[in-house]
Chains A and B, each alone.
Chain A
Amino acid sequence: MQIQDPRERRRIVSLTPLIDVVFILLFFFMLASTFVQWRSIDLGLTSPEGASASVEGAILVRVHSGGLDLNGRPVALEDLSAAAGRYLERRDGQPVVVQADEGVDLQRLVDVFDRLVAAGAEDLSLQGGTRP
């Protein structure tokens, strides 16, 4: 009589190919997925001709290579939120115009926008400044 040796029992499904496939899937999802959380800042478009109407009574923030001016007075980026907040308190929905000189990169502009939005600015627009 032949008795089967229990040690010789083989698994029906081998694990190794399964793991291979799972690894490949893992790499695919790791490389193909993005985790950037997008945020947005709304900017109004001011036309150069009709600018005077929208600019009237607006808060003017000038961003130049050396720093920031708020309504003509130099201000540090850290103090911008508080300083702009004082102007915005006086009148609700006051437009804020950001004038950017050439040579200023977008990250700096976005930092400025961030602070203005934090101060309660609702009507933001971007304009060209003086050319160097």
Chain B
Amino acid sequence: MKLSKPQPRRDTEDYILPLVNIVFLLLIFFLLAGTFKAPDPLEIEPPQSRSEKQAETQGPLTVLLDAQGRLAIDGERLEGEALQQRLAERLAAEEGGVVRLKADAAVDAGRILEVMERLRSAGAQEITLLTALRTG
């Protein structure tokens, strides 16, 4: 009778090394492909567009507007007078009066216009609406 030869017991290392390789690859991918920044004080789901124009992620004044219509600036939630004052201060220091508006896709047009009006009265001349690249 022919019996198969018992397989020599392999070291656990032999199984784990490919796993480690893959994990290292993933790690390097996330390191290189991802970008890091401080989280925004408001949760915003940006509208999707096919606009070709790339936005700078760093740079001038960015005003956040979330789905509930709350506003934030410089990573700080502000309302009413305090906001208006901060906007005026920041716009006075800024050349060209460009404000970037990062608004949620679900925000009502009426609210956007309200915010634009406030920005205009604080001295803004142009607004750059931030959108996310549409995928698919």
Residues of A within 8 A of B23 (CB): 19, 22-23, 26
Count class of interface residues, chain B: 35 or more
Taking Cβ atoms with an 8 Å cutoff, the residues of B that contact A are: 13, 16-17, 19-20, 23-24, 26-27, 30-31, 33-37, 46-55, 57, 100, 103-110, 112-113, 116, 119-120, 124-133
Other 15 A-B pairs with CB < 8 A, given A42-B126, A103-B109, A106-B107: A11-B13, A15-B20, A19-B23, A26-B27, A29-B31, A33-B36, A34-B35, A38-B57, A39-B51, A40-B53, A102-B110, A103-B108, A104-B109, A107-B105, A113-B49
Residues of B within 8 A of A41 (CB): 49, 51, 53, 128-129, 131
Taking Cβ atoms with an 8 Å cutoff, the residues of A that contact B are: 11, 15, 18-19, 22-23, 25-26, 29-30, 32-45, 47, 63, 100-107, 109-111, 113-114, 117-118, 126-129, 131
Whether A32 pairs with B34 at a CB distance below 8 angstroms is yes
- A43 with B127: in contact, given A15-B16, A107-B48, A128-B113 (CB under 8 Å)? yes
